[in-house]
A and B are shown apart, each in its own frame.
Chain A
């Protein structure tokens, strides 16, 4: 094995086939960027789930005067009803982790804080907001247990699971991620086809060399290695560009645009980028290597 000879062959091959090499680099970069972006969205969703599921609560809104749900037919919630609900909630421990009572006054204060810049505040009075129990569950997926126990009981207007609202949002993100993955998949197929074609052209343009190599008894490995390395190198450069794009996405889009505008939630950290980058590199180089290997087996036969 002579490394310098193989390296020289690889350099020659890449230079002679420059336009195709550039095409391979660009398609690999674009497809892997999309692939990386999809993985980043996935990491983002899981980060947000961790962040939010820790905070979500089940809200049990109690009847106020004038509530028109059937369970509120008896008018505003009575003290006895309220105490009974609290006792029943206590009996659901350890599923119920924390119970917090929010009075009309507290609800109004929180509302005012949340919408402090909006004219809506002026139209809402303390009495318009319901009092509620905020319940934190040790396992947020067991929401149904609480809901079935309390929904429809006299004195309770509504049982709300915040997770359901979040889930809609996560489904949206999941959909986006799926679309990105699908496009990435299509692009990766295009990339593989391009590499197959590039290898065919490369094998054809060097058929004189390879036929002599076969005649003088060069091993298949030795004949194919320069081609394989060329494909892997081009894909590697493309993958590095895609990783660069991923870093730019993280710095510009996540850290500088999204994070300052949406401070209430958590965003993916560099650990996610560090985990995705090697996946991109391996996917790119691996796909190119496999595509090249099978093409060469067909076109550079002994």
Chain B
């Protein structure tokens, strides 16, 4: 699913590499937490997977493609198979819930008959049935994140990238979001989630990869957030 082989990423403006000699394999169907302090390289890792950045050395394989050799015009095809969720939801404020989810399908040229069928389905999966006509500012933070997850999941991607999806939510709401991500994972989608939320990591007991200063310092199946080293 994802394979990092001795990957180093150095941003031109920084002295220290954001990721240094990182090797990591993520299997199909896994649910994996990416933890570590700010600046440890979690976001860089996710950006490399999305091919928003290119590695300086080493190879990155995602969904069977070697990203360094992937030509620019093939990137959209890759991203269609990856759902993405962010801390700040990134919804379009002037569109309704339905339209926000439908937007993801419209811009990749899906026919409206298909959209009318799958958008209500995915809104039901995330528990937003009956709120199709609301705008983002009429929703709670948790509901907004559910819209974002619906948008990420509407194409039934093989892989879901979640960059601190509960970072802006209170603990109770976060649990709901985690249940939803867990459900999506059980439907067969690999989930890679970066987080600072120790409670969630400890409760879920899934694979944990800890980054520190650009290195993988821990890789543990059924791990917890703060592991005594």
Q: Which residues of A contact B75 (CB under 8 A)?
A: 217, 302
Q: How far is the CA of A302 from the CA of B90 in the complex (A)?
A: 18
Question: Chain B, interface size: which category?
Answer: 20 to 34
Is B77 part of the binding interface, using a Cβ–Cβ cutoff of 8 Å? Answer: yes
Q: Which residues of B contact A223 (CB under 8 A)?
A: 107
Q: Which of B73, B84, B92, B106 has a CB less than 8 Å from the CB of A208? A: B92
Q: Are A208 and B90 in contact (CB under 8 A)?
A: yes
Q: Which residues of A contact B206 (CB under 8 A)?
A: none
Is B186 part of the binding interface, using a Cβ–Cβ cutoff of 8 Å? Answer: no
Q: Are B76 and A220 in contact (CB under 8 A)?
A: yes
Q: Are A216 and B79 in contact (CB under 8 A)?
A: yes
Question: Chain A, interface size: which category?
Answer: 10 to 19
Q: How far is the CA of A1 from the CA of B108 in the complex (A)?
A: 8
Q: Are B90 and A218 in contact (CB under 8 A)?
A: no
Is B57 part of the binding interface, using a Cβ–Cβ cutoff of 8 Å? Answer: no
Q: How far is the CA of A151 from the CA of B92 in the complex (A)?
A: 86
Is A5 part of the binding interface, using a Cβ–Cβ cutoff of 8 Å? Answer: yes
Chain A stretch 173-212: residues in CB contact (< 8 A) with chain B: 208-209, 211-212
Q: How far is the CA of A268 from the CA of B155 in the complex (A)?
A: 61
Knowing A2-B112, A208-B90, A208-B92 are in contact, say whether A213-B107 is a contact too (CB < 8 A): yes
Q: Which of B80, B111, B112 has a CB less than 8 Å from the CB of A216? A: B80
Knowing A2-B112, A302-B75, A302-B76 are in contact, say whether A218-B107 is a contact too (CB < 8 A): yes
Shortest Cβ gap from B173 to chain A (Å): 23
Interface mask (B77-121 → A, CB under 8 Å = 1, otherwise 0): 111111010000010100000000001101111111000000000
Q: Which residues of B contact A208 (CB under 8 A)?
A: 90, 92
Which chain B residue shows the least CB distance to A206? B92
Interface mask (A147-164 → B, CB under 8 Å = 1, otherwise 0): 000000000000000000
Knowing A208-B90, A209-B92 are in contact, say whether A217-B108 is a contact too (CB < 8 A): yes
Knowing A1-B109, A2-B111, A302-B72 are in contact, say whether A216-B104 is a contact too (CB < 8 A): yes
Chain B stretch 108-147: residues in CB contact (< 8 A) with chain A: 108-112
Q: Which residues of B contact A104 (CB under 8 A)?
A: none
Which chain B residues have a beta carbon within 8 Å of chain A's beta carbons?
50, 72-73, 75-82, 84, 90, 92, 103-104, 106-112, 151, 155
Which chain A residues have a beta carbon within 8 Å of chain B's beta carbons?
1-2, 4-5, 208-209, 211-220, 222-223, 302
